[in-house]
Amino acid sequence: MRNYDLTPLYRSAIGFDRLARLAELAANNNGNAGYPPYNIELKGENHYRITMAVAGFAMEELEITSEGEKLVVKGTKNTEQPERQYLYQGIAERGFERTFQLADFVTVEGAHLENGLLNIELVREIPEAMKPRKIEIGAIDSKVLEGEATRQQDAKIAQAQPAA
């Protein structure tokens, strides 16, 4: 029987939905966590790049899907290639599926394959309504205050006078 370390679940789980998602991710870890290797770069304040080493995969063997907060990169080797006899095989040619959890407002801008590296460009586009904005603090004009005081006095006098 395997012993599972659930410490990460207790450290930062708030609410049952997050706890269930973390448990599901832990259970679905199929031992393929290190393949293929990847980098995540910060290219600018709101621009990111995921670079994956996908040596041996052609463009048509790679699939990228973005659904909600999930980015899934899948590689499927073409099985129609002629059987080869290797003396040593150091380049893994097995299929893979790697899932990335995207933060709020992060979208995929594009992807390209170059020299065995798959580059996925990401951008964070925060809606105007969600961006912080500066609120100017102004002084109240003394004439406006006098006019308001006069209106309040007139309203009190009108309430005190009996209706004719």
pLDDT in tens, the chain (164 residues): 456 665 565 554 444 555 555 566 666 555 556 788 999 999 988 899 999 999 888 899 999 999 888 999 999 987 676 777 888 888 777 889 999 988 888 889 999 999 999 999 999 888 888 778 888 888 776 666 666 767 777 777 777 776 65
What is the reported pLDDT for 61? 92
* Listed residue (11, 115, 104, 97) closest to 55, CA to CA: 115
Q: What is the dihedral of CA 54, 48, 27, 55, to 10 degrees?
A: 0
**The model's pTM:** 0.60
Domains and CATH numbers, the chain: 1-30 (no CATH), 34-159 (2.60.40.790)
Collapsed DSSP state (helix, strand, coil) of residue 132: coil
DSSP H or E run through 146: helix 142-160
Q: Token pair of 38, please?
A: 């990847």
